[in-house]
């Protein structure tokens, strides 16, 4: 895939999501449009129910819009079928979730190896080991998620998200299940990796301190993009 270095890596145009609620249509997102430049860190803000996680899911191709388009690195996401969207995600995208989403029967090392193994990438064990060393878990490779603290589990999830060196990382409330101190440490790690690897970061957060570390904030109100602001 040849990328245009001038074009945004993410472009949302007129994104609308409606669902049936009884006999009426419930609008979750309405005509949301914005662009994200390669290497940018963007926070999506809003109260609960404002459509933040729905928007993130649409940007990642995990859900389908009622109308509108999303382009990822120049590819029209919703012109692809489900397998095509999955292939694009595997090639370009990493994810960090609030609930970690680690496989409980896999060790930390196996969880980080998984995306490499699925892609048939050589040296998966060595790459995963190096990534876990980078996030400070070199001594916890053989531990299962239940043997790790919440902060350690999220570090494993971050290692898994970054191990394939994705172009984009989508993060949904990555510190939402952590205490303030642990959340700050996890945020430090995520932003450090983002800088080191020149990744584009799009994250949903309620944390004002985390959002201010992003270059730009998008605020949703009742499913509409209320405003975009740049960090000072």
pLDDT in tens for each of the 232 residues of the chain? 334 445 799 999 999 999 888 888 889 999 999 999 999 999 999 988 899 999 999 999 999 999 999 999 999 999 999 999 999 998 899 999 988 999 999 999 999 999 999 889 999 999 999 999 999 999 999 999 999 999 999 999 999 999 999 999 999 999 988 999 999 999 999 999 999 999 999 999 988 889 999 999 999 999 999 878 777 5
Beta bridge partner(s), residue 221: 224
In whole angstroms, give the CA distance from residue 227 to residue 219. 6
CB atoms within 10 A of CB 220: 23
Region class of 46: left (phi > 0), else alpha (psi between -120 and 50), else beta: left
Region class of 134: left (phi > 0), else alpha (psi between -120 and 50), else beta: alpha
CA distances from 187 to 155, 193, 205, 232 (A): 10, 10, 11, 19
SS3 215: coil
* Helix H or strand E segment including 87: helix 82-92
pTM of the shown model? 0.89
Q: Are the beta carbons of 63 and 19 closer than 8 angstroms?
A: no
Give 223-231 contacts, CB < 8 A, sequence gap 24+: 223/17, 223/27, 223/28, 223/29, 223/30, 223/32, 223/50, 223/51, 224/29, 224/30, 224/31, 224/32, 225/32, 225/33, 225/34, 226/46, 228/34
CB atoms within 10 A of CB 229: 14
H-helix segments, 106-217: 108-118, 124-134, 150-162, 180-197, 208-212
Class of 10-227 in CATH: alpha beta
Place of tokens 């270095």: 5
Write out pLDDT tens, residues 3-41. 444 579 999 999 999 988 888 888 999 999 999 999 999
Domain residue spans in the chain?
10-227
């Amino acid at each position: 895939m040849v990328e245009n270095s001038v074009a945004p890596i993410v472009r949302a145009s007129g994104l609308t999501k409606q669902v049936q609620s009884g006999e009426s249509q419930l609008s979750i997102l309405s005509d949301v449009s914005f662009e994200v430049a390669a290497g940018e860190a963007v926070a999506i803000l809003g109260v609960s129910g404002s459509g933040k996680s729905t928007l993130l899911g649409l940007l990642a191709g995990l859900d389908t819009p009622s109308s509108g388009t999303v382009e990822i690195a120049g590819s029209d996401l919703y012109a692809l079928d489900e397998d095509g969207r999955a292939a694009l995600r595997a090639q370009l995208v990493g994810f960090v979730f609030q609930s970690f989403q680690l496989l409980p029967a896999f060790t930390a090392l196996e969880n980080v190896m998984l995306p490499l193994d699925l892609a048939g990438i050589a040296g998966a064990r060595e790459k995963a080991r190096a990534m876990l060393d980078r996030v400070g878990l070199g001594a916890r490779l053989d531990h299962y998620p239940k043997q790790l603290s919440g902060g350690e589990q999220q570090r494993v999830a971050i290692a898994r998200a970054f191990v394939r060196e994705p172009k984009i990382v989508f993060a949904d409330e990555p510190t939402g299940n952590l205490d303030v101190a642990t959340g700050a440490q996890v945020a430090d790690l995520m932003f450090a990796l983002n800088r080191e690897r020149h990744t584009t970061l799009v994250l949903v957060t309620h944390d004002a301190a985390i959002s201010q570390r992003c270059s730009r904030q998008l605020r949703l109100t009742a499913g509409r993009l209320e405003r975009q602001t740049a960090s000072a």
